[in-house]
Amino acid sequence: MVKHQGFTLWFTGLSGAGKSTISGMLEQRLRAAGAKVEVLDGDVVRTHLSKGLGFGKEDRDENVRRIGFVCELLSRHGVISIAAAISPYRAIREELRARIPNFVEVYVECPIEVLAERDVKGLYKKALVGEIPHFTGVSDPYEPPLAPEVTVNSSKETPEQSVELIWATLERLGLVSFDRSALSHQ
């Protein structure tokens, strides 16, 4: 069993970088260890919590603030909240960091060329030729974190390797620890 306190694990990176995949795998590992955890995936949040918001800067900022508000509430009550959202603007992520205790930023890095190759919907190719306006990383800015607690690179690592790097960071920060007392009684 894992011992933990409430904290927020904030995944940021371009569309298709692997935020949802990696955060889902980490969620499964945490749940299997007995942790209380909730995932707020950017696509799901846009459908429910942020329905009606567009993709201009103000609406993107509002979307990220809403996700952050829910993460803050969950973390305050001892839940591990995992946000997987592009969250393109550094200032808003820093605003959340200042507001949410135990905020851990995970930058899921991946070059645009790799993302375009992976993209089964062809969104990057369309955005690169100007067919999709306001596409983060192409026609809209993406500001990578300056000092994330952990950076994973989905073009060089498997999702499993990324999960291991994140887990090691959480242990190093003292946010999760393995309860070894049960082992000594066997």
Catalytic residue IDs: 87
DSSP structure class, residue 94: H
Q: Cα–Cα distances in Å, from 28 out to 25, 88, 135, 144?
A: 5, 26, 30, 27
Using alpha carbons, select from 185, 163, 182 the residue that is nearest to residue 30: 163
Q: Distance between CA atoms of 10 and 116, rounded to whole angstroms?
A: 24
How large is the greatest C-alpha to C-alpha distance in the chain, in angstroms? Answer: 63
What residue type is 148 in one-letter code? P
Distance linking the first and last C-alpha atoms of the chain: 14
Mark out the alpha helices in the chain (DSSP H runs): 19-32, 42-48, 57-76, 90-99, 112-118, 123-128, 159-172, 181-184
d(CA 105, CA 65): 15
